[in-house]
Amino acid sequence: MAMVSTYCPQFSGLRRSCPKLDNSQSQSFVQHINSQLRLSSSPKPCRAVLAMAGSGKFFVGGNWKCNGTNESITKLVSDLNSSTLESDVDVVVAPPFVYLDQVKASLTDRIEVSAQNSWIGKGGAFTGEISVEQLKDIGCKWVILGHSERRHIIGEDDQFIGKKAAYALNEGLGVIACIGELLEEREAGKTFDVCFQQLKAFADVVPSWDNIVIAYEPVWAIGTGKVATPQQAQEVHEAVRDWLKKNVSEEVASKTRIIYGGSVNGGNCADLAKEEDIDGFLVGGASLKGPEFATIINSVTSKKVAA
């Protein structure tokens, strides 16, 4: 399959140590993660159930980034409006700020609208920023925060991102909270360290996890054509869920959706979706193509294990 040729299987070491989140629990948590990671790909018994470790509804977001024109976005919205989408999926798209109102006014109510960023507090003399209050005023329901392009190009740090998330949640917006490691961090075995540190910055300040979706996006896979194998993605997703169970609560670990992003497309989404801790996707380039984005949304059917 073409998908296999784009995988990046040479990365296997994910961690060497756990970040010191809690001195009294750090060592036991490392042992817990090591004992729980499912690294084999041995087949599971066939069951007529959903292959999901969490209890949340499948979630697919489309991050349009800094792309589009009036013409192309009108066409994309038209394609999405005419698509047949599975009912058991929450779908969100995040257009550029200047097109938010246009998309909200013309897109089917079946798909919610998200912003790609928001300011850390109430609006005011902050040139170039967009406030949560403004986003709510035009009908946005979600905001993407902590994306690697904001972290590594704009320079936003973990604490700043956490505070933005806390403010958005307090004001009633849902947050798609992005985490993920750089290539050199993965090669150094620091994947878990990085992801747990980024998670902790959210956990330290958010008022609740009810309206948070975690998006694991390995930076080396974003827009590169390299995709984490289903097993690589599952390994990190499972570790994230275990971190939530250990550091927040078992209920939050079960309810919080953990979605994957990083060169997801119509050709690889089905295999990724089969992994039980992958609760959906945050899609970049493929979300700019209506039919392909619909295919990714409908990959929820791959969650169903054949009877």
Q: Which domains does the chain possess?
A: 59-78+89-99+130-306 (3.20.20.70)
pLDDT at 54 (0 to 100): 67
pLDDT digits (tens, 9 = 90+) for 95-131: 999 999 999 999 999 999 999 999 999 999 999 999 9
Residue that is written with structure tokens 């995709």 in the block: 227
Question: What's the CA gap between 76 and 244, in Å, rounded?
Answer: 36
Residue that is written with structure tokens 């035009």 in the block: 138
Degrees, nearest 5: CA angle 25-27-33 = 95
Question: What's the CA gap between 70 and 65, in Å, rounded?
Answer: 15
pLDDT at 305 (0 to 100): 56
Q: What is the pTM of this model?
A: 0.84
Model confidence at 10, in pLDDT bands (50, 70, 90)? very low
Question: What's the CA gap between 244 and 228, in Å, rounded?
Answer: 22
Compute how many other C-beta atoms are within 10 angstroms of the C-beta atom of residue 295. Answer: 17
* The amino acid at 28: S
pLDDT digits (tens, 9 = 90+) for 242-273: 999 999 999 999 999 999 999 999 999 999 99
> What share of the chain has pLDDT > 90, as a percent?
78
In the predicted model, what is the mean pLDDT of residues 136-140?
96
Query: Which residues are known to be catalytic?
Result: 147, 217
pLDDT at 14 (0 to 100): 56
Report the largest interatomic distance among the alpha carbons of the chain, rounded to a whole angstrom: 59
Phi, psi of 87 (to 5 degrees): -80, -25
Model confidence at 51, in pLDDT bands (50, 70, 90)? low
Nearest to 115 by CA among 85, 80, 139, 79: 139
Question: What's the CA gap between 188 and 146, in Å, rounded?
Answer: 22
Question: What's the CA gap between 30 and 157, in Å, rounded?
Answer: 25
Question: What's the CA gap between 232 and 138, in Å, rounded?
Answer: 39
